[in-house]
Structure 1
Amino acid sequence: MSTQETVRRQAGSVEETALKLDSEKAEQIVDALNTDLAATYVLYHQVKKHHWNVEGAEFLGVHEYLGEITDDLEESADELAERAQAIGGVPLSGGSTYEEHAPIEPEGEDVYGVRTSIENDMEAFGVIIESLRDHIGLANELGDYATEELLRETLETAEEHAHHLEHYLEDDTLVLESATN
């Protein structure tokens, strides 16, 4: 625990910055960015768990791809947090804080089969995609075009990953279901 006696910036506060975004608008944008930041980190930890625990004939490909997803999620989280800070906000931090503010439920500690894991990841990506779309509209409506662009780029990456995960769940595979077929 910190021994610092004074708080420089209180969580949940928004201050004026050189970017000159109206404080009311900045508060709305910071709230949206923090929601997306929380969701991104909740999904990051879920996908990382799947990356560590994946097994089976397609292990290597799935393991590597889930690693790529976590790299992209970590980068997106960093960009969302930095944007929130740049417009005067305080980015959320901490596992329980993320879970409290995320629009997705964390999967839990148990290990599931690869298909169930990927289905859970796709479902979480779907929620994040919807949130990002709403927040793109909000940023546009409030005239924060830089945040709008950042969210569009984040959305594009999220949609790409959801689409690729969907392919893993298709029924066409090179792996034989049983040796007797």
Structure 2
Amino acid sequence: MSSQQTIRQEFGTVRENPVRLDEEKAKQSIDALNSDLAATYVLYHQLRKHHWNVDGAEYGQLHDWFGDAAEDAEEAADEMAERVGALGGVPISGPAALEEHSPVDFEGADVYDVRTSMENDLELYGDVIEYFREHVMLVENLGDYATSELFRDRLEELEEDADDLQSFLADDTLVLESATH
């Protein structure tokens, strides 16, 4: 590792951008992107945790679903981070910064039964969806239509996943353990 450290751009600063979005508007878009990027990583880690820990009669289907949903979140995070760079900003990174800037909370390290895990996921999806909706309107009002499109595409995926979770949680889908064995 080099002993000399040269900072090319500090986090929170905005440089001139090639898409010619005014600096103040770019800053607002970058802030929204970084907030949703942090929330997406919280969602990613929670889904990945459930992918690793799912058990029970629907193991195969749920294991695959959690894995696919986590991969979708990771891909979306990458797209948001790249958009931050295109707007002249620095994408948020690192566990502490992600936790500090995320508007949503991770459920924690404990492992829950699959129904509780999925209920927690559905709640988290709902919160993330609300932030994305707010940010679609914000960036559109700023004239940042490309970021709006990115948010809209991700919002559609989030809503589809939330609908899947709601379907999984229907009373007749998950095998419930009987209280009397």
Give the TM-score taking structure 2 as reference length: 0.94
Give the aligned residue type for 1:43: L
In the other structure, the counterpart of 1:35 is 35
In the other structure, the counterpart of 1:126 is 126
Give the aligned residue type for 1:169: L
Change (3 A) 1:169 1:51: same
Matches of 1:58 and 1:110, distance apart in 2: 21
Give the aligned residue type for 1:160: E
Matches of 1:174 and 1:13, distance apart in 2: 48
Give the aligned residue type for 1:58: E
- 1:93 matched to 2:96? The reply is no
SS in 2 for 1:92: coil
Matches of 1:49 and 1:4, distance apart in 2: 38
8 Å CA contact 2:168–2:174 kept in 1: the answer is no
SS in 2 for 1:30: helix
Change (3 A) 1:3 1:167: farther
* 1:4 Cα offset (Å): 3.9
Matches of 1:174 and 1:51, distance apart in 2: 16
SS in 2 for 1:151: helix
Task: State percent identity of aligned pairs.
Answer: 58
- 1:51 matched to 2:61? The reply is no
Matches of 2:146 and 2:42, distance apart in 1: 25
* 1:173 Cα offset (Å): 3.0
* 1:172 Cα offset (Å): 1.4
SS in 1 for 2:13: coil
- 1:29-178 aligned at under 5 Å gives the runs 29-173=29-173, 175=175
SS in 2 for 1:28: helix
* 1:177 Cα offset (Å): 5.7
Give the aligned residue type for 2:57: A
Matches of 1:122 and 1:176, distance apart in 2: 18
Matches of 1:94 and 1:31, distance apart in 2: 16
Query: Which blocks of at least 5 consecutive residues in structure 1 are unaligned?
Result: none
* 1:17 Cα offset (Å): 1.3
SS in 2 for 1:121: helix
8 Å CA contact 2:58–2:174 kept in 1: the answer is no
Change (3 A) 1:17 1:174: closer
* 1:2 Cα offset (Å): 6.3
Deviations 1:89-113 (A, max 9, x none): 1000011111111111111111000
Give the TM-score taking structure 1 as reference length: 0.94
Give the aligned residue type for 1:12: G
Deviations 1:150-174 (A, max 9, x none): 1000100000001101111101138
SS in 2 for 1:163: helix
